[in-house]
Amino acid sequence: MVFVVDDDDAVRTSLRWLLESVGHPVEVFRNGREFLDSHDPEQPGCLLLDIRMPQMGGFELQEVLRATSPELPILFLSGHGSIPMSVRAMRSGAFDFIEKPFSDQALLDRVQDAINLAAELHRQQRHARLMKRQLATLSPREREVLDLLIEGLSSREIGEELGISKKTVEVHRCRIREKLGIDSVAELVRMMIHIDPQAAVPAGGGGPGHRL
C-alpha cells in the first residue's frame, strides 16, 4: 500500500492517478491526524508525506511514526523544501526527501525502492514474532539452559552452574532443539540477535558448528 498525506486536493488526486497507473494500491489523507486515525501498523507499505499541513504537519507525523511504525518508509514531498528541512527529515529516518516539481518516473522508482524495503522489513518482523512465540514455549529451566549455551558453556559446565546432571542438561538441550527447530549454537545466536539486534550475544563454546 502507498499512503499519500497531503492537504492539496490536486496533489492527492494526481499522485493517486500516477501510482495507480502502475498498479500500486493507494490511500490518500488530508493531514497527519486523518492518517493516524485509520492507519494499521500491521499494513506494510510506504508513505508519501507533505511537510506543511493543518492539524498535524509532516514532521509531527514522522515523530509519531518513529515510535509506532518505524518500519514504514517515509518519502517527504515538499514544494517549500530547504537544506535544513531535508537534513532534519533524513536525520529522523526518512527514506528520501523529494522537492516538487518532480519527475514522475523518478518518484515511481523511489516508491518502488521504498515498497521493496517495506516488504523486507515486514517479513523480518513476522519472522521475529514467530521466533518470540517459539521462545515462549520453553520452560523456565530450558530458558536457563539456553542462556548459558549462548554464553558458551558446555553441558558439564551448565550442569555445575544449575546444580543438575550433565545428562539432564542434554535432555533440556534436546527439547530446546525440538521446540525452536534449530540444530546448532550458531543458529541459536543468530535467532537471538534477530529478535533483538541491540543485544550483545556472545557465541562461544565450540565455534559456529557446535551442535545444540
Q: What is the mean pLDDT of the chain?
A: 87
More confident residue, 113 or 211: 113
Longest dimension (CA), the chain: 73
- Mean pLDDT for 6-26 is 95
**pLDDT(18) > 70:** yes
Find all residues with CB under 8 Å of 121, minimum gap 6, and list them. 44, 71
Percent of the chain with pLDDT over 70: 91
Per-residue model confidence (pLDDT) at position 60:
93
- Mean pLDDT for 80-105 is 86
Per-residue model confidence (pLDDT) at position 129:
84
**pLDDT(201) > 60:** no
- Mean pLDDT for 194-203 is 58
**pLDDT(209) > 60:** no
Per-residue model confidence (pLDDT) at position 208:
42
Percent of the chain with pLDDT over 90: 52
- Mean pLDDT for 5-21 is 95
**Residues 150, 202 contacting (CB under 8 angstroms):** yes
**Residues 32, 58 contacting (CB under 8 angstroms):** yes
User: For the chain, what is the total number of helices (H) and then of strands (E)?
Assistant: 9, 5
**pLDDT(207) > 90:** no
Per-residue model confidence (pLDDT) at position 88:
87
Q: What confidence tier does 164 reach under pLDDT thresholds 50, 70, 90?
A: very high
Task: Kindly report, residue by residue over 167-188, the tens digit of the pLDDT.
Answer: 999 999 999 988 988 888 788 8
Find all residues with CB under 8 Å of 155, minimum gap 6, and list them. 166, 169, 170, 173
